[in-house]
């Protein structure tokens, strides 16, 4: 079992940056692909980014490509989401999640463990 705790959210002006962190418990972190998702106010949860268990080839939603970067440090059992050039439409609760699938996936149902979320608010 993996427990995930996000941090780093907050209020930022449009054009600013934030770095989210997701700390995992357990020594099996390295066997999971990791993903970031977000849920804007009044909308459904959506995929943001994913990174495979060994790092390497990452995947991004078109809406964040070129602005967000996902990374992981298996030694620190932490995954990060660097968010630059933030826009008001990036406002959402951001969640990290862990997947045991054999391939990097965008599907919410493929993720087995979820954090509690961290609020990101971007003001114009």
20-50 pLDDT tens trace? 999 999 767 778 999 999 999 999 999 999 9
Residue 99's pLDDT band, with cuts at 50, 70 and 90, is: very high
The pLDDT of residue 39: 98
CA 14/CA 121 separation, integer angstroms: 9
Burial 17-40 (b: 16+ CB within 10 A, else e): ebebbbbbeeeebeebbbbbbbee
The pLDDT of residue 114 is above 90: yes
């Amino acid at each position: 079992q993996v427990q995930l705790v996000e941090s780093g959210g907050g209020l930022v002006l449009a054009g600013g940056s934030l770095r989210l962190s997701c700390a995992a418990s357990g020594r099996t972190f390295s066997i999971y692909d990791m993903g970031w998702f977000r849920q804007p106010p009044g909308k459904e949860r959506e995929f943001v980014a994913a990174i495979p268990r060994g790092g390497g080839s990452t995947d991004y939603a078109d809406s964040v490509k070129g602005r967000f970067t996902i990374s992981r440090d298996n030694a620190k059992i932490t995954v990060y989401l660097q968010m630059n050039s933030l826009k008001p439409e990036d406002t959402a609760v951001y969640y990290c999640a862990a997947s045991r699938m054999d391939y990097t996936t965008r599907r919410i149902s493929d993720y087995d463990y979820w954090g509690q979320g961290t609020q990101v608010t971007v003001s114009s």
